[in-house]
Amino acid sequence: MTANRIKIAMLGFGNVGRAFARLLTEKQGEILDKFNVWVDVAAISTKSKGCLVNEDGINLSEALNDIEKFNHFDKKRKDYREMTSLEVAESVDYDILFELTPLQIFSGQPAIDHIKAAFKRKKHAVSANKGPLAWAYEELRDLANKNRVHFFYETTVMDGTPVFNLVDETLKFCKITEIKGILNSTTNFVLEEIAKGKAYDEVIKEGKKRGFVEEDPAMDIEGWDAAAKIAALLNVLMGANITPYDVDRKGIEDITFEQIKEAENRGNVIKLICYGGIENGKVIARVRPEEVSKSSLLASITGTTSIVSLTTDMMGTVSIVEHEPEIEQTAYGVFSDLIRVLGNM
């Protein structure tokens, strides 16, 4: 039996995109066996590394080698194109758009426009970018439904850990009434290192060296990344229709060694806690440093580990812990959404 061909367009080819490309290459045979589908990458578009378009399928090994050797695509390649990501979304022949571009935390753009372009062409979309969920989830959901296409985004909050899929597939008819968690690994790392007596600047320098901390750590330290994640969760799971600006946000920038030690003397640790719940019939959200008991589950979340707890009306509270993820877990989240699209086409 002749296999069907599915074409995907990848917008973004950073660490996640490249890890996903390697995983896709490794798993092509299994996808073929299960779905009788061969997945071709028809386009890879980046802001700084160039753009490749080949509707017969890009050679992923060559694309990965280009980035490793030159940090950009070879302009001598026959499939090299001078195209923007939006142009790719609007014009290339593909079946599924993968939105893997960097987060723009204060607007969600241009990722929102990329996904809209796909939906208007009746194409499915997978997003690893939390911006569209934090800024325009309802609009995108409704547009996807109108055009009868799939919109999946498992990677946006906890890498490949199944949070959205868990609710969709195994908590059917449960109403989520509260969400609480530790969703930013950078702040976890910084608080733990300050607790050891290290200076803030020293901790940031070490974190950058080890890859835990971004070149500009402000989005993490000031709580913006956590605010975007809790907004995304609340928009999808509780219909909040909020943006990160609506989150009552306070980061860890003012937390001192002395405060951490005072909390320790009370049998507590300080963590940056994300929370969403219902007050006076309205969904509210906050991110702030809080003292939690050393005996609590939240206190056990260290390093790059993260946790989200979902309180429901019928299943009580369900907690999901992701232990020290690497880039492979993030890539798997994207891959799992691909498999979910294939299974629902």
Instruction: Name the residues annotated as catalytic.
Output: 229
| CA–CA separation, 103 and 225 (whole Å) | 9
Structure tokens at 98: 């993968």
| Cα separation, 158 vs 164, whole angstroms | 10
CB within 8 A of 101, min separation 6: which ones?
Answer: 11, 12, 47, 85, 110, 111, 114, 129
